[in-house]
Amino acid sequence: MMTKRNEPTEVKRAYSSDEALNKYEDLNELGFYDVEERLVKRYFQPRSARVLDVACGAGRTTKPLAKMGYDVVGIDISEEMISKANLLFPELDFRVGDAADLPFPDESFDFILFSYMNIDYLYPREQRLQSLRELNRVLKKGGRLIFGTGNSLHVIPALLRRKPSHLFRFYVRNENYKRIFRVYKKDPDEWNLRTYFGTQPRNLLDLHRYGFKTEHISGKRESMLRFFEEVQYYVARKIKHIGHHEGTNI
């Protein structure tokens, strides 16, 4: 039996709604999150490099990348979101595209940013892995990938700090208690999309399988507490070009 994909139906529909368009236009006011800015400044050198901004939304990260001097292309699966981005930032290069089927030739980019938890909405897991293969394909050898991903260990401090209403909303009302031992859960903050909450060993293994060497794992903090944060950012360098049939069965 085939597993139902988030892409392109559920994700595309969610991020094409008026609610999503308004939300992501408002997020543009934030620009980079602190961790994104810190990592980009440290690992994306030189500033003249060509950068792919995957799942760019309405341009929250694309605009600051361009202001820093990068030759940046923003891509998103939602045509409506790209139309919004083009309206807000007509001087920038925005294109419609699927992260698991990128419309670019091999080794087109020096660096890739896949911000926040956007890679986690690729469902099922095969689509997430296909995205890693595609990111490897369009990235130049030696180039760096920065991406954010949900952290399953966050449940520990969440149980200690979060209000009961939040835990009820996340685990009970949308029945995530039935998925407590599954990597995919439904995220009430993102239109109940199936969302990947993995572990560090699994993420490291996936990156290795798809031709990357992990250089750094970060969060809002650089202390050991970063390993319990809700969203972790991985910095990985491409060390091997992965062919069409490599990686999947390793």
Q: What is the pLDDT of residues 165-214, one digit of tens each?
A: 666 777 787 887 788 878 899 988 888 999 999 999 999 999 999 999 99
What pLDDT was estimated at residue 7?
A: 45
Whether the ω angle into residue 46 lies within 30 degrees of 0, i.e. cis, is: yes
pLDDT, tens digit (0-9, with 9 covering 90-100), for 100-114: 999 999 999 999 999
User: Which H, E and C letters describe the chain, residue by residue?
Assistant: CCCCCCCCHHHHHHCCCHHHHHHHHHHCCCCCCHHHHHHHHHHCCCCCCEEEEECCCCCCCHHHHHHCCCEEEEEECCHHHHHHHHHHCCCCEEEECECCECCCCCCCEEEEEECCCHHHHCCCHHHHHHHHHHHHHHEEEEEEEEEEEEEHHHHHHHHHHCCHHHHHHHHHHCCHHHHCCCCEEEEHHHCCEEEEEECHHHHHHHHHHCCEEEEEEECCCCCHHHHHCCEEEEEEEECCCCCCCCCCCC
pLDDT, position 103: 96
Domains and CATH numbers, the chain: 9-151+196-238 (3.40.50.150)
Distances (CA, A) of 246 to 110, 145, 209: 22, 19, 8
pTM reported for the whole predicted model: 0.89
The length of the chain is: 250
**Lowest mean pLDDT across 63-72, 115-124, 173-182:** 173-182
**Banded pLDDT at 149 (limits 50, 70, 90):** very high
What letter represents residue 59's amino acid? G
**Residues 6+ positions from 211 with CB-CB distance below 8 Å:** 136, 238, 239, 240, 241, 242, 246, 247
8-26 tens-digit pLDDT: 578 889 999 999 999 999 9
